[in-house]
Chains A and B, each alone.
Chain A
Amino acid sequence: MFARRLKRKCAVDEEAAPAYSLQHQSLLDMSLVKLQLCHMLVEPNLCHSLLITNMDQQIQEEMTQDGRWCMPVPQTTGWASRDLLVSTGILCCCTWEGVHPAPEPGDLASEFHVVPAVQAPGGSPGGVWGRDGPRENRGSLHKSLDQIFETLESQSPGALEELFSDVDGSYYDLDGCYYDLDAVLTGMLGSAKLSKDGLDHVVDILVET
């Protein structure tokens, strides 16, 4: 009886907050799809991802402030978009740290942040840009990343390989528009350091979808 009354009340309230909330939700859904698509393209566009994420957050805030909305607020959507933004940044980052020489104290040039251009084989991973170093590992994500990574590693020495063993790493469209998520996963396995951070976010994407 009580449950029926609650259901009827919700139905009435739903009618009172129709297109407004639906528009919010559809914008959020659209944004999440866009962010995930970003990750399938050639190196994600950070500006694009950031603008979508910021709009997402704004919608989230308005939805939580709006008392008329009685369906549970999709708390995960905002986090998913932030996570995808962070992983966009990680995908753009290089992993070759500790290569650049420390500046001499008495050197005038040390007043400037000199960025050496490291010649890396097979592409342009980016070199070391000084400030990338320790900051990358801060933040609340760090512990959870380690836990997940350790969990995967502890199953068996080749846990990562087994997890993605059926992924066909050769499936990517060179002409085109975007790479299959599988190829991204396969590529991320190649970098021992990157996969630690990137893997968690990839797992998040898998969980979200």
Chain B
Amino acid sequence: MAGAGGGGCPAGGNDLQWCFSQVKGAVDEDVAEADVISTVEFSHSGDLLATGDKGGRVVIFQREQENKSRPHSRGEYNVYSTFQSHEPEFDYLKSLEIEEKINKIRWLPQQGAARFLLSTNDKTIKLWKISERDKRAEGYNLKDEDGRLRDPLRITALRVPILKPMDLMVEASPRRIFANAHTYHINSISVNSDHETYLSADDLRINLWHLEITDRSFNIVDIKPANMEELTEVITAAEFHPHQCNVLVYSSSKGTIRLCDMRSSALCDRHSKFFEEPEDPSSRSFFSEIISSVSDVKFSHSGRYMMTRDYLSVKVWDLNMESRPVETHQVHEYLRSKLCSLYENDCIFDKFECCWNGSDSAIMTGSYNNFFRMFDRTTWRDVTLEASRENSKPRASLKPRRVCAGGKRKKDEVSVDSLDFSKKILHTAWHPVENIIAVAATNNLYIFQDKAN
């Protein structure tokens, strides 16, 4: 399926028309490195949207409920909680800094009033509890209203503290810290469908954790060779199956995906399934391995398919067929002739993510120039849209964009040579149920939704 730019029909349904909803973040031309968004994730119900940035902060947005007095703000996401998840650390043994950048955020399924999420940087995973407090206790016996302790000997009568309403306060507190289990950089975390365990993956190993236990984890995948000189590939992403708690997949820098069943052995060094598409010899180049490296792998909600993102394409795989993907969607094929330049400026190593819509009928991924691509699996149509402040009028429809790969450039087309490679959309998220998408463009978070929504 080719696509240098899109047809006029938006993906996600024939009648779907994407329009601008909100944009979060500063407008400054000079973007502070710490403010660059590094991960975006909707909660399981979609009412909360979490972002992590390179400064180690997590910002959670909450969707507003319907309010008759403010009908225009229905469905808007507003800041719910902000907290510093990770701080920069210094490894004194190696004299190297451990970045505070949040690599991934994953929500835990909601089980009570409080919400829980996992956030990770390169080395440490943290479990955060986000809870609301809208009442405070007054009338303590041992301390005054201003918190000063009272002399117990002077207390002559006891009273029962009473709860009084207060302004809503959202508290984020670290409940667990899972540290010192990864030698290499953590690239993935994934909560298991048993709601008790989760995996964390770095370049060479995957560990299995129990959410209640922080002082140990089980190593379930280890691809480190005896001699590092023999190293040929690394783990790039990993995820648990959405329904089968014993199944996980991990992708590699050589473009392969391995499915492992934890029931078969304690150490899943031997895969149960091996997914690899034969290389097309006609398109082979020195950069073939680099561009085949899988940057993201995501199971479909149904659990029957999985999607992988490499540098130029998105592929959908049927778990029952290992020999080749069932679908291949070209994201920006026009970049194939520019690989040398992209290697020089390191853009070829950019790790794009991908995501499914709630019904698995559409997929989305990012590109350069603040473009992002959506592919409708039902109609086989695709569209290129842009996250831009210029198109940020409320409820303004997004106009499909086209990239001119060569020849005469038509009106409204963007030439490949004029693409801004510093404006890259690496992180996107799709609401689990509705047609609402969150797109991270450097330090700005754009929220789009379909007009009918």
Q: Are A30 and B97 in contact (CB under 8 A)?
A: no
Contacts of B287 in A (CB 8 A): 55
Closest-by-CB residue of B relative to A58 is B286
Selected contact of B96 from candidates A23, A46, A187, CB within 8 Å: A187
Q: Are A126 and B180 in contact (CB under 8 A)?
A: yes
Knowing A113-B266, A184-B96, A194-B93, the reply to whether A135 touches B286 (Cβ < 8 A) is no
Closest-by-CB residue of B relative to A54 is B289
Q: Are A115 and B217 in contact (CB under 8 A)?
A: yes
Q: Say whether B21 faces chain A, with CB atoms less than 8 Å apart.
A: no
Selected contact of B124 from candidates A115, A124, A131, A132, CB within 8 Å: A124
Q: Say whether A51 faces chain B, with CB atoms less than 8 Å apart.
A: yes
Q: Are B95 and A117 in contact (CB under 8 A)?
A: no
Knowing A46-B234, A47-B203, A125-B91, the reply to whether A116 touches B216 (Cβ < 8 A) is yes
Contacts of A145 in B (CB 8 A): none
CB under 8 Å from chain A, chain B span 182-236? 182-185, 203-205, 207, 214-219, 222, 224, 226-229, 231-234, 236
The distance from the CB of B415 to the nearest CB of chain A, in whole angstroms, is 25
Contacts of B93 in A (CB 8 A): 94-95, 123, 125, 187, 190-191, 194
Q: Are A91 and B89 in contact (CB under 8 A)?
A: no
Selected contact of A51 from candidates B96, B185, B217, B293, CB within 8 Å: B293
Provide the bound-state CA to CA distance between A56 and B164, in Å.
68
Knowing A43-B98, A113-B266, the reply to whether A55 touches B227 (Cβ < 8 A) is no
Q: How many A residues touch B, CB cutoff 8 Å?
A: 63
Contacts of A50 in B (CB 8 A): 231-234, 253
Q: Are A113 and B267 in contact (CB under 8 A)?
A: yes
Provide the bound-state CA to CA distance between A45 and B253, in Å.
13
CB under 8 Å from chain B, chain A span 174-204? 174, 179, 183-184, 186-188, 190-191, 194
Q: Are A127 and B94 in contact (CB under 8 A)?
A: no
CB under 8 Å from chain A, chain B span 281-302? 286-287, 289-290, 293
Q: Say whether A70 faces chain B, with CB atoms less than 8 Å apart.
A: no
Knowing A124-B91, A179-B95, the reply to whether A43 touches B289 (Cβ < 8 A) is no
Q: Encode B328-343 as 1/0 by CB contact (under 8 A) with A.
A: 0000000000001001
Q: How many B residues touch A, CB cutoff 8 Å?
A: 56
Q: Say whether B118 faces chain A, with CB atoms less than 8 Å apart.
A: no
Q: Are B182 and A126 in contact (CB under 8 A)?
A: yes
Knowing A50-B231, A93-B183, the reply to whether A117 touches B217 (Cβ < 8 A) is yes
Q: Say whether A139 faces chain B, with CB atoms less than 8 Å apart.
A: yes
Q: Are A113 and B222 in contact (CB under 8 A)?
A: yes
Closest-by-CB residue of A relative to B187 is A47
Knowing A51-B253, A89-B231, the reply to whether A43 touches B95 (Cβ < 8 A) is no
Q: Are B228 and A89 in contact (CB under 8 A)?
A: yes
Knowing A125-B91, A188-B94, the reply to whether A51 touches B218 (Cβ < 8 A) is no
Q: Say whether B83 faces chain A, with CB atoms less than 8 Å apart.
A: no
Contacts of B215 in A (CB 8 A): 116-117
Contacts of A140 in B (CB 8 A): 229
Selected contact of A117 from candidates B91, B180, B228, CB within 8 Å: B180
Knowing A43-B122, A82-B229, the reply to whether A190 touches B95 (Cβ < 8 A) is yes
Provide the bound-state CA to CA distance between A198 and B418, in Å.
43
Q: Are A129 and B183 in contact (CB under 8 A)?
A: yes
Closest-by-CB residue of A relative to B122 is A43
Contacts of B267 in A (CB 8 A): 112-113
CB under 8 Å from chain A, chain B span 357-410? none
Q: Are B228 and A86 in contact (CB under 8 A)?
A: yes
Selected contact of A179 from candidates B96, B122, B205, B224, CB within 8 Å: B96
Knowing A43-B94, A117-B181, A124-B124, the reply to whether A112 touches B218 (Cβ < 8 A) is yes
Q: Say whether A138 faces chain B, with CB atoms less than 8 Å apart.
A: yes
Q: Say whether A119 faces chain B, with CB atoms less than 8 Å apart.
A: yes
Q: Are A123 and B95 in contact (CB under 8 A)?
A: no
Q: Are B286 and A59 in contact (CB under 8 A)?
A: yes
A-B contact pairs, 19 of them (CB 8 A): A47-B203, A50-B234, A51-B293, A55-B287, A59-B286, A113-B218, A114-B216, A117-B180, A117-B217, A120-B180, A123-B90, A124-B89, A124-B98, A127-B180, A132-B183, A169-B95, A179-B97, A187-B92, A188-B95
Given contact pairs A55-B287, A85-B231, A124-B89, a sample of 10 additional A-B residue pairs in the complex whose CB atoms are under 8 Å apart: A30-B343, A46-B185, A50-B232, A86-B228, A89-B231, A112-B267, A123-B92, A135-B226, A139-B227, A187-B93
10 smallest A-B Cβ distances: which pairs? A187-B95, A89-B228, A139-B227, A113-B219, A135-B226, A123-B91, A117-B180, A46-B203, A112-B266, A42-B97
